[in-house]
């Protein structure tokens, strides 16, 4: 071993793992290992996701409009607000593959607008794919992103950015005509170069059929367990808010209520003079120094 190598080994007790790439995600797909994705919307949620050994990828989804910024839908989200939140998530990520959304209003008006928004995000670093809701209407945009080296994740089925047209946050593709349309959209996204596809709120039968007939991974949310992977919004999975959860969510925790209980405990401790505890939570000063201080302080009174 060279001297340099032994020095590196001595001082790097926990060498950081490298960040996962698209090919790591494809390895899981080839091995038929379900791909796990969770959203993050700030530094804290990014840290939690990055540290979970069972999570493969992190999505900065525009759902952050609703769960982190309190908007009624994803339409109100400003690109700049989303951009600042994305920066916070990026600071927290070391290991996971990172997918970032293009929010409503940042890609529709022209191919140029779409490319500019995507490039602005890519310049932050660590981003492995840009996600857009839609299909045929995005053909030129997706092809251009791909041509410039930006891997694209498609998003079909329920497209929350189009909820005004599609009757709210409702399952899609439940009749044969709609199902065929979604299947065609999936084939089209694959054809024009998408590397991953999110399938949201569609019947399990349909997402199974789509997944079997594509050769790129599908990531489902509310689409059953026959997709190549699953994504959930972290605040739903951990119960961070007091919102009504969609049917497809399995709440693994209720941080919201646990946190309210914990804050009540803090408040009670303060009001009952049980916190802070002098012996544990305070900084000591020896008596001699304090007496000296009192004498010195006399002159100020
Ligand atoms: N917190 C949160 N979780 C999400 O999964 C999520 C967001 N926000 N915001 C953006 C979109 C919107 N999504 C949603 C939101 C609500 C339902 C929902 O409550 N659906 C009802 C009705 C389904 C139906 O009738 O077809 C349900 O009971 O599941 C579904 C998808 C998924 N995304
Ligand atoms: C619901 C997921 C797939 C999403 O797009 C988001 O978090 O914005």
The CATH fold assigned to 17-253 is TIM Barrel (3.20.20)
- What φ, ψ does residue 248 adopt, rounded to 5°? -80, -5
* CA–CA separation, 294 and 298 (whole Å): 6
The token duo for 158 is 């329920």
Give this complex's ipTM.
Answer: 0.96
Ligand 2 centroid, distance to 237 Cα (angstroms)? 13
- Our measurement of the distance from residue 260's CA atom to the centroid of its chain's CA atoms, rounded to an integer in Å, reads 24
Choice from 159, 201, 202 to test ligand 1 binding pocket (greatest atom count within 8 A of CB): 201
| Ligand 1 atom showing the smallest separation from residue 221 Cα | 5
In the predicted model, is pLDDT for residue 100 greater than 60? yes
| Nearest protein Cα to ligand 1, atom 5 | 233
pLDDT score, position 1: 53
State the pLDDT confidence band at 13, using cuts at 50, 70 and 90. low
| Ligand 1 atom showing the smallest separation from residue 243 Cα | 1
Q: Which residues make beta-bridge pairs with 233? A: none
* CA–CA separation, 185 and 13 (whole Å): 48
Which one of the listed residues 95, 191, 200, 212 is annotated catalytic?
A: 200
Mean pLDDT of the chain: 96
| Ligand 2 atom showing the smallest separation from residue 221 Cα | 3
User: What is the pLDDT averaged over residues 54-82?
Assistant: 98
| Nearest protein Cα to ligand 2, atom 4 | 61
State the pLDDT confidence band at 87, using cuts at 50, 70 and 90. very high
Cβ of 120 below 6 Å from ligand 1: no
State the pLDDT confidence band at 14, using cuts at 50, 70 and 90. low
Residue spans per domain, the chain: 17-253, 258-298
Give me the percent of the chain exceeding a pLDDT of 90.
Answer: 93
In the predicted model, is pLDDT for residue 108 greater than 80? yes
Tell me the pLDDT tens digit for each residue of 197-249.
999 999 999 999 999 999 999 999 999 999 999 999 999 999 999 999 999 99
In the predicted model, is pLDDT for residue 163 greater than 60? yes
With helix as H, strand as E and coil as C, how does the chain read? CCHHHHHHHHHCCCCCCCCCCHHHHHHHHHCCCCEEEEECCCHHHHHHHHHCCCCCEEEECCCHHHHCCCCCCCCCCCHHHHHHHHHHHHHHCCCCEEEEECCCCCCCCCHHHHHHHHHHHHCCCCCCEEEEEECHHHHHHHHHHHHCCCCEEEEEECCHHHHHHHCCCCCCCCCHHHHHHHHHHHHHHHHCCCCEEEEECCCHHHHHHHHHCCCCCEEEECCCCCCCEEEECHHHHCCCCCCCCCCCCCCCCCHHHHHHHHHHHHHHHHHCCCCCCHHHHCCCCCHHHHHHHHHHHHCCC
User: What is the pLDDT averaged over residues 156-165?
Assistant: 98
Q: Give the chain's length.
A: 301
Closest of 213, 231, 226 to residue 25, by C-alpha: 231
């Amino acid at each position: 071993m060279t001297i340099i190598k032994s020095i590196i080994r001595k001082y790097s007790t926990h060498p950081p793992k490298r960040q996962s790439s698209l090919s790591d995600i494809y390895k899981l797909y080839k091995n038929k290992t379900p791909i796990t994705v969770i959203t993050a919307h700030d530094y804290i949620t990014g840290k939690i996701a990055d540290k979970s050994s069972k999570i493969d990828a992190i999505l900065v989804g525009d759902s952050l409009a609703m769960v982190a910024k309190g908007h009624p839908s994803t339409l109100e989200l400003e690109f700049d607000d989303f951009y600042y939140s994305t920066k916070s998530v990026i600071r927290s990520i070391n290991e996971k593959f990172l997918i970032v959304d293009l929010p409503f209003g940042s890609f529709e008006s022209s191919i140029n607008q779409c490319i500019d928004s995507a490039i602005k995000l890519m310049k932050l670093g660590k981003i492995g794919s840009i996600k857009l809701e839609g299909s045929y209407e995005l053909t030129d945009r997706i092809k251009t992103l791909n041509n410039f080296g930006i891997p694209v994740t498609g998003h079909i089925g329920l497209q929350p950015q189009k909820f005004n047209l599609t009757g709210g946050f409702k399952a899609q593709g439940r009749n044969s005509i709609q199902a065929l349309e979604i299947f065609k959209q999936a084939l089209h996204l694959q054809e024009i170069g998408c590397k991953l596809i999110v399938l949201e709120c569609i019947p399990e039968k349909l997402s199974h059929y789509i997944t079997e007939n594509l050769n790129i991974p599908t990531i489902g949310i509310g689409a059953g367990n026959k997709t190549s992977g699953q994504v959930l919004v972290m605040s739903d999975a951990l119960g961070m808010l007091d919102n009504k959860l969609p049917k497809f969510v399995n709440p693994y925790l209720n941080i919201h209520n646990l946190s309210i209980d914990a804050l009540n405990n803090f408040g009670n401790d303060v009001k009952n003079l049980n916190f802070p505890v002098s012996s544990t939570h305070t900084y000591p000063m020896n008596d001699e120094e304090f007496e000296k201080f009192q004498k010195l302080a006399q002159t100020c009174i």
